[in-house]
């Protein structure tokens, strides 16, 4: 066992060291103390956003979606739920464009991670709904893997019936609760 364990551990450690980049993390002072903010900032560091705009208080600029396509309501990346039929964990073909968009984003951002949260409606036992939610999350994970997303970028979990989107006991509410939500780890 040790003959296998140590070489694998060494290989994983070396690969983790090789994936770091030479970019320096930026630090943003959110204390509101303007006198110490410039003195504590290292030379060459800035607090610009992803899209190149500076941080100017808490107000969002007019082009607030320019830096992150996941936040743009017009982008397919803003769609985050895959809905399922009753007692099913088959991903419907209508969700393929949305899944392709998320797969493309994840392939372009190799450091991005997502959590697939499987859910079920309240019908059935708690154990059954946890298992069904896990199957739904795993089905979406497999669909994204087929589209080229690395398994290391995805985690599938189940909430079962514990996080309903709609708490009513109607067929429409049940349909809203039979879903898998795509949640990015940095949000």
CATH code for the domain of 88: 3.30.1330.60
Residue range 73-105, pLDDT digits in tens:
999 999 999 999 999 999 999 999 999 999 999
Residue 56 inside a domain? The answer is no
Strands of the chain, DSSP E: 81-83, 114-119, 154-160, 179-184
Half-sphere exposure of 26 (CA within 13 A, CB side): 13
Does 44 reside within a domain? no
In the chain, the number of structural domains is 1
Q: Is residue 48 part of a domain?
A: no
User: Contact 163/119 with Cβ under 8 angstroms?
Assistant: yes
Lowest-pLDDT range of 65-69, 79-83, 112-116? 65-69
Enclosing domain of residue 186? 68-187
CA–CA distance, 27 with 39 (Å, rounded to integer): 13
Question: Cβ contacts of residue 172 below 8 Å, gap of 6+?
Answer: 166
Asked if residue 114 is part of any domain, the answer here is: yes
3-state secondary structure of 48: strand
Helix 126-146, helix 96-108: angle, nearest 10: 70
Position 67 confidence tier, pLDDT thresholds 50, 70, 90: confident
Q: From the CB of residue 84, how many other CB atoms can be counted at a distance below 10 Å?
A: 26
> Does 5 map to a domain?
no
Q: Has residue 47 been placed in a domain?
A: no
Let me know if residue 10 belongs to a domain.
Answer: no
The strands making up 179-184's β-sheet, listed across from edge to edge, are 81-83, 179-184, 114-119, 154-160
Residues 30-66 have pLDDT tens digits of: 455 444 443 443 344 333 333 434 333 333 333 445 6
d(CA 39, CA 7): 46
Kind of pairing, strands 154-160 and 114-119?
parallel
Give kind and range of the element (H or E) at residue 13: helix 2-18
In a domain, 179, yes or no: yes
């Amino acid at each position: 066992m040790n003959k296998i364990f140590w070489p694998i551990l060494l290989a994983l450690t070396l690969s983790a060291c090789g994936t770091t980049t030479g970019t320096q993390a930026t630090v943003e002072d959110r204390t509101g103390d303007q006198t110490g903010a410039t003195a504590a900032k290292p030379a060459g560091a800035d607090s610009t956003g992803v899209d190149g705009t500076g941080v100017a208080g808490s107000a969002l600029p007019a082009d607030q979606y320019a830096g992150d396509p996941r936040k743009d309501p017009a982008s397919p990346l803003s769609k985050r739920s895959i809905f399922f039929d009753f007692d099913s964990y088959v991903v419907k073909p209508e969700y393929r464009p949305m899944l392709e968009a998320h797969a493309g984003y994840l392939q372009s951002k190799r450091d991005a991670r997502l959590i697939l949260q499987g859910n079920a409606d309240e019908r059935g036992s708690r154990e059954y709904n946890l298992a069904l939610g896990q199957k739904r999350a795993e089905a979406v994970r497999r669909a994204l893997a087929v589209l080229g997303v690395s398994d290391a970028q995805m985690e599938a979990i189940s909430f079962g019936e514990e996080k309903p989107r709609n708490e009513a006991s109607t067929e429409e509410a049940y349909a809203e609760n039979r879903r898998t939500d795509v949640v990015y780890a940095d949000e």
